[in-house]
Structure 1
Amino acid sequence: MIKKALSPKERECLYWVALGKTTYEIGIILGLSYHTVNFHLRNVCTKLDAPNRSAAIAKAFHFAILKLPSN
């Protein structure tokens, strides 16, 4: 169950994590600091009740927060 809806920036950070980007790379892509990216991703894990980023990605797919790209 989702505790609270993800913000647009949290969704965006999670999207890039799901594509295999590192915190540093996400920061460059989004124009955010390393610490800000980690802040958003910690919030994602809390809101999805996930112990880590991998679990957050799995739960995001399960709850249709993230979707597989269509061809």
Structure 2
Amino acid sequence: MTQDTYTLIGLGLAGLLAVWLVFSLVKKMLGIVLLIALAAGAYVLWTNPDLQQQVIAGVSRLWSR
């Protein structure tokens, strides 16, 4: 490992940039996965009226408490 100050600062900044990129990509991927899950759930409720009525009844029971 080099003892050059500027090299160590550069490596530290590159490490911070890499961590920031990874976390921003993970955040974006989680957002996309959440949207896909919501769309799939909406499709399931749209195509299954019995399940839709059960969900509406459950939500209204929770809401009325």
User: Does TM, normalized by the shorter one, top 0.5?
Assistant: no
The two structures have a TM-score, normalised by structure 1, of 0.30
The two structures have a TM-score, normalised by structure 2, of 0.32
State the structure with more CA Rg: 2
